[in-house]
Structure 1
Amino acid sequence: MLIKTRRDGFNHPAASEITPQAAYRQRRDLLRLMAGGAAGAALAAWASREAMAAVQRPGKLPALPSQPSAVAGAVTMEKPTPYEDATGYNNFYEFGTDKADPAQNAHTLRTAPWAVEIDGLVKKPAKFALDDLLKLAPQEERIYRLRCVEGWSMVIPWVGYSLAELVRRVEPLGSAKFVEFHTLADRATMPGIRSSVLDWPYVEGLRMDEALHPLTLLSFGMYGEVLPKQNGAPVRVVVPWKYGFKSAKSLVRIRFTEQEPKTAWNKAAANEYGFYSNVNPDVAHPRWSQATERRIGEGGLFAKRRKTLLFNGYEAQVGQLYAGMDLKKNY
């Protein structure tokens, strides 16, 4: 199935639809003052709804073909997070560090033309235009949980196909042990990379067997629509058993390597963000517990905290990948 988009990829907001700068700055000041705890979470949820007023929805996808999912046993039946929350409360530091910043700022991202370069230890290096990636394999909708390291979670219907479909076509060499993902770093369209908060471009990575696992998704859409820019348009990775920052957005390069990649957050704070970053309630972040989580869109200030599940609830599908490993040491 092909995803058809407008020539420029998305509808851009009119100036009249954008939150006035004074109001936006006031909201940012309030967020800084009240960040942390239930009050901060409630205020951030309000801010995300305000941010969504500035962003038009990108457009419906054609109907997906009727076919059984390759991972049907792993797809959750939980109620999806409301679209407005999933697209208005984001981590995408290329567009700002506040959760509402990406929805406010990502309209500047140019998603057409777009290509993804595949290189490194492969027999068939290539540069795929977006249209070619879309045609590579049949796409399906998969409802996955998403758990972020700050303690919040969502349930999102993603659209795409297993990353393994792409990996096999480029034929990795036997020496390729890892897959490295690079996000676009464009100072002209991504205001966040003018800061030194991370070493740009944003780089993430997986072990080869993780990349080949059928749950690992190459995604082009969500909620039956084209990926919004703040959620990683036009193509991103989704790795549902790991913390959200492992799922690289707005991909421009996929590189196969023998050595473990130097990833963005691991370079920034190795004691907080390990390479594996599997969801594990028994491994606390140095500044907070990971034992429970708050589901975005469920009650705001009064939302009941949920018990965090090992591997984000996907232990039956992926636990064997880490047999014999110390999951606290290899966090």
Structure 2
Amino acid sequence: MNKRQQIGFDHPVASDITPESVFRARRSFLGTAGVAALGGLLPAAQALAAQDGLAALPARLDPRDSTTEKPTPYSDVTTYNNFYEFGTSKSDPSRYAGSLRTRPWTVVVEGEVAKPRSFGIEDLLRLAPMEERIYRHRCVEAWSMVIPWIGYPLSQLLRQVQPTSKARYVEFVTLLDPAEMPGQNDAVLQWPYLEGLRMDEAMHPLALLTFGLYGKLLPNQNGAPVRMVLPWKYGFKSAKSIVRIRLVEKQPVTSWMRAVPNWYGFYSNVNPNVSPQNWSQAHERRIGQGSFGGLFTPQVPTRMFNGYGEQVAQLYKGMDLSKDF
């Protein structure tokens, strides 16, 4: 078993700037819910993506789940990142993620399933039609972005392995390879990075198994070659560079739960009324917006469930979200 297929334990251990809102010249965006056209891909933005040397990833835009807010510039999306496997500074991932080899790549799906299976990354890319979703993305440091992600609902993959009646949670295990991920040489977390969802959260249409952004395959610093995107939760819940997905009966102990349990709970839903860290979550700063190239970015109020309450609030009916945070 190679490094990209490891971690078979029973109990986890924790381990602004030219706008590219212009990202779709080849099709207009007239949604069934009255979504207005967002514009086309400007030459400057197209050139930025081309410089990355990333292959195009065609996708059908889904206006039903997409916001009409102005997308964050591509240059910000790819240089201001949290990805501790490459360092704790926001600029570290774009500096150091070039060491990550994303081909070949295998994702093992196992646990409480009738048909456990290993999927090569090309298998995953062909598994279901690619959709583009323009999602708000919120981090606990009170900053946010709007990103056109490309993927398909995680449920499409999980149905392939036929979850059993015992499958109550989904655990995500990310790559462990300190040679390719130099941040793993530091003990800021226990590695590999682990995350999890309740089964109904994992099966929700907004839970996107993600392979690209802005019409291209994912850059390494954004979680290549495959990651989760969960727009109603804080960004750290969206596991990157996934190598293993396990369906389990017991709630997983995630990396940040293990590291700082009084700050980071299992659910980690965006909730402006709960600030488990030592700073407020009531407001956020939208990266890439504001005057002087984003130097003076205005703060805006944080919305419950990051503005996706209409879609997901029913998942938490009857729960005290100040305790189950």
TM-score for both structures, normalised by structure 1: 0.81
**Unaligned runs of at least 5 residues, structure 2:** 1-47
Deviation of the 1:298 alpha carbon: 1.1
2:137 and 2:313 mapped to 1: Cα distance? 17
Q: Which residue of 1 aligns with 2:66?
A: 75
Question: Which among 238, 243, 247 is matched to residue 256 of structure 1?
Answer: 247
Return the letter of the residue paired with 1:116: V
Q: Which residue of 1 aligns with 2:277?
A: 286
Matched, 1:304 2:298: yes
The percent identity for this pair of structures is 61
Deviation of the 1:76 alpha carbon: 0.4
Q: Which residue of 1 aligns with 2:115?
A: 124
2:214 and 2:141 mapped to 1: Cα distance? 24
Matched, 1:212 2:203: yes
Deviation of the 1:59 alpha carbon: 2.1
Matched, 1:104 2:95: yes
1:249 and 1:236 mapped to 2: Cα distance? 4
Question: Which among 58, 62, 72 is matched to residue 63 of structure 1?
Answer: 58
Q: Which residue of 1 aligns with 2:212?
A: 221
Would you say the 8 A contact 1:74–1:314 is kept in 2? no
Deviation of the 1:302 alpha carbon: 1.5
Matched, 1:242 2:233: yes
**CA deviation vs aligned residue, 1:25-82 (integer Å, no higher than 9, x gap):** xxxxxxxxxxxxxxxxxxxxxxxxxxxx9x95142425335xx73xx43310111000
1:244 and 1:56 mapped to 2: Cα distance? 26
Question: Which among 124, 127, 135 is matched to residue 136 of structure 1?
Answer: 127
**CA deviation vs aligned residue, 1:98-152 (integer Å, no higher than 9, x gap):** 0000000000001010000011110000000011111110011100000000100
**Unaligned runs of at least 5 residues, structure 1:** 1-52
Matched, 1:171 2:162: yes
Would you say the 8 A contact 2:98–2:220 is kept in 1? yes
Return the letter of the residue paired with 1:104: R
C-alpha change, 1:139 and 1:310, in structure 2 (3 Å) is: same
C-alpha change, 1:310 and 1:128, in structure 2 (3 Å) is: same
How well do the aligned residues superpose, as a CA RMSD in angstroms? 1.4
Return the letter of the residue paired with 1:203: L
2:142 and 2:230 mapped to 1: Cα distance? 17
Q: Which residue of 2 aligns with 1:315?
A: 309
Q: Which residue of 2 aligns with 1:17?
A: none
Return the letter of the residue paired with 1:275: F
C-alpha change, 1:86 and 1:62, in structure 2 (3 Å) is: closer
Higher helix proportion: 1
Matched, 1:153 2:144: yes
Q: What secondary structure does 1:135 align onto? A: helix
Return the letter of the residue paired with 1:208: M
1:237 and 1:58 mapped to 2: Cα distance? 23
TM-score for both structures, normalised by structure 2: 0.82
Would you say the 8 A contact 2:65–2:134 is kept in 1? no
Q: What secondary structure does 2:192 align onto? A: coil
Return the letter of the residue paired with 1:63: P
Structure 1 residue ranges, 4+ long, deviating more than 2 angstroms after superposition: 62-65
1:214 and 1:99 mapped to 2: Cα distance? 29
Q: Which residue of 1 aligns with 2:262?
A: 271
Q: What secondary structure does 2:127 align onto? A: coil
2:324 and 2:244 mapped to 1: Cα distance? 26
Matched, 1:162 2:166: no
